Chain A
């Protein structure tokens, strides 16, 4: 099994995921929450923690947090409390982070995901709460000095905490990808790990198979990309197993993952064992969310990936795998449905193939979104079905429309790709081909019928792809049968 290093050990993983909410401004002030601005330019008295400044909650951030909670099936509490998490660090200008502790925004949700080990599995969401981000300490910018960038300070986050539900690093990764999908669907976050808008801390422990109590856990921090999730967790799992097999003990501690060495190292003792002295933030009244507000956010949620997948299988008669590919991204799913519904009644299965191959390949190659409008693709598919374009020719037209735009039929005409469906003309090409290959004709007639494809190829070549292949095949069969 992929999940276990050796059959005697079971791995237990729980994840704490920090996700940046998709807002224009920060959690408690009007500063821009955009990524990549020059250091310390998106700051004001509030996020700098200047004396006398006060936080004011961002309404959109709360809406998005509630939508995320509902998308994960959480109970959203009508009253929750913002609390201060106190600790000293140079990139934390107030000396505390505004977060939630007792009475979080929401609790008790779940997320169904496809485990590579166990099939459909359920991750429990213990809590989802809102908080603000800290700034960034840059240790490598100036020799022997630490620089501080406070642009991130106050950016709105949600923290999503799962139970100890994952049995392998692969499962943890599968959950994260599903989580990302759901949050993107809900419009709550863009979940871009490279921009730091999704960050993961993991609690990892191992125990002998069959054991009821959990082993001593460690916390692995600093996992900064999806690619590293599996690596970091595998490294830590293997370290713990090796330690226990050698007769040692796992020490409860916080570890930092280092992608360069693919190893973990303990966080310095000084940075550890915080007593955060949480208490309700007296600058902020409790978050009171009315039933109406919560219902409104629920109504604003789109159909979520799992639901959409089921519907695609049902409605468009697609395989589960195809439906999963098409629903992985909300934009792609919407695009697919637009193609299917675009008047000419493109066959759902054919449309799915087009989207999964040409459309996604083009999007990947150009990183420029979906460049061929859904209506145009529907028309293109119609031209193939009507015999006006060969499939090969249609692919060329697709590329042309993607690069330069235009109506597929006009583009096909301009490129001279419209199929010739005139029996007289096609018969002429067939006669020329058969005349040029008497030996093959003889072999065919003596029973080597698979040569039909050869003749068809020759006809297409001679017609430079313009012959209607179905018509050409019929004429060939007739002539060869004569």
Chain B
């Protein structure tokens, strides 16, 4: 069968490229195991699938039968899931090859992939810098050309931010567009599997495959899979809103220049551009850092050493088992967020923090609805306030690290789809621009991204 040999060739080539990218520490799967698994999958792949033979790497917080699922944590060292995520099952059913598990910040908590128990991932353009995070391994592998696409996950920008920093495309779908079954939970009301790709099309066609209803996830909308739009000739008829809160006075001037250039291109493509206000934007990061840790503190309670994962001593009594397993099994950032989350849910603090944050979340979502109600189709913003930063630069300053998600957390809080695409370089380092779309209107968002991608000088200095 010629088709089967095509998949085999693709598998072998992917394995070779992944070996070459080994220095990035982006892929956690050992090379030998990876090569073998790729070949086995290629032999079993469905030749009629729309992704037949396409290697897709998967972030290590998404359950696979093929490889371990550690979430970048010591507490799940060597953990093998007895079932696979719906997104992974759909990829395989479409003929894709699962090309190993990618490094990430522990339990997806971080913006640099430095908070991994398995070492940091290097930026493919500059090894002294971070690839962003938490899906930094997926972004680095795509940027290095090892795979055409990879799954990541988002809670506050963990696909778009590394995509922006590595110069690739990153899509975060509408909350409820892709099943979370098998995505290890961090902040369940914010979590969504996303896709990183070499191009809008590579990312979009993977997204189309993994989207759609799933009877195993009651937060997944009962909708047909996403249908890919055609690449539009122009953006005639589109109204693109520019939220002023995303262009503060102290924004990196190069980032601003890059965005301005993109806006000029929209106009040339025929779109109308309009300034809009999203007045509650300033509260997004604090809101996020109450809600996400609150949910995380509960979601991560199950890692106690009693049933799976390593135990770190303390077998004498169960409290000691919990204390040592969780104390030693989790890294510092995860412990910090569990403490934060436990605090804001505690009786006496719940109303002041958690309940307030929920109210603020509703106001942030309302900001977006107001803008869309006034005839705006899409919003355009920078994805990140700066290009890739140096490793270690923000490691001891959590707030500075948290602020690198300042332009991305809003889409998660509002449950909206968003995409980051490369729009230029700053001293050789990529920066991304972001479209935020209306709920379940990914097709419109993708049309605009296709159009911009065709004309934007993504590899030129901004």
Contacts and interface: CB of A to CB of B under 8 A. Distances in A.
Contacts of A90: 304, 306, 318
A86 B85 contact: no
Contact of B301 (A57, A86, A148, A285): A86
A282 B307 contact: no
A84 interface: yes
Nearest to A279: B345
Interface string A252-287: 000000000000000000100001011100111100
A275 B346 contact: yes
Contact of A84 (B298, B342, B350, B354): B298
Identify the 9 closest CB pairs spanning chains A and B, nearest first. A95-B301, A282-B189, A282-B188, A277-B345, A52-B182, A51-B184, A52-B63, A52-B184, A49-B302
28 contacts: A49-B302, A50-B83, A51-B81, A51-B302, A52-B62, A52-B182, A52-B185, A53-B83, A54-B180, A54-B217, A56-B216, A56-B217, A86-B301, A88-B301, A93-B307, A96-B298, A96-B301, A277-B297, A277-B298, A277-B342, A277-B346, A277-B347, A279-B295, A282-B188, A282-B189, A282-B219, A284-B218, A285-B219
A157 interface: no
A94 interface: yes
A148 B302 CA distance: 15
A275 B348 CA distance: 10
Contact of A283 (B82, B83, B188): B188
A50 B219 contact: no
B248 interface: no
Contact of A95 (B83, B295, B298): B298
A472 B21 CA distance: 110
A146 B215 CA distance: 36
Contacts of A51: 63, 69, 71, 76, 79, 81, 184-185, 302
B295 to A, nearest CB: 6
A279 B294 contact: yes
B35 to A, nearest CB: 26
A86 B298 contact: yes
A96 B6 CA distance: 48
Interface string B179-194: 0111111011100000
Nearest to B291: A282
Given A51-B63, A90-B318, A275-B347, A56 B215 contact: yes
Given A86-B345, A96-B301, A275-B346, A48 B307 contact: yes
Interface of B: 62-63, 69, 71, 76, 79, 81-83, 85, 180-185, 187-189, 215-219, 294-295, 297-298, 300-302, 304, 306-308, 318-319, 322, 342, 345-347, 350, 354
Contacts of B85: 52
A55 interface: yes
B319 A283 contact: no
B295 A282 contact: yes
A369 interface: no
A48 B188 CA distance: 18
A45 interface: yes
Contacts of A270: 319
Contacts of A54: 180-181, 216-219
Nearest to B295: A282
A144 to B, nearest CB: 11
A93 B187 CA distance: 18
Nearest to B326: A88
Given A51-B184, A95-B300, A95-B301, 11 more contacts: A51-B302, A52-B62, A53-B182, A57-B218, A88-B301, A88-B304, A146-B318, A148-B306, A277-B342, A277-B346, A282-B219
Contacts of A277: 297-298, 342, 345-347, 350
A51 B318 CA distance: 21
Contacts of A48: 307
Contacts of A94: 301-302
Contacts of A278: 345
Nearest to B318: A90
Most buried by A among B189, B301, B318, B346: B301
A279 B297 CA distance: 11
A94 B303 CA distance: 8
A148 B305 CA distance: 14
A425 B182 CA distance: 87
Contacts of B347: 275, 277
A288 B218 CA distance: 13
Nearest to A86: B298
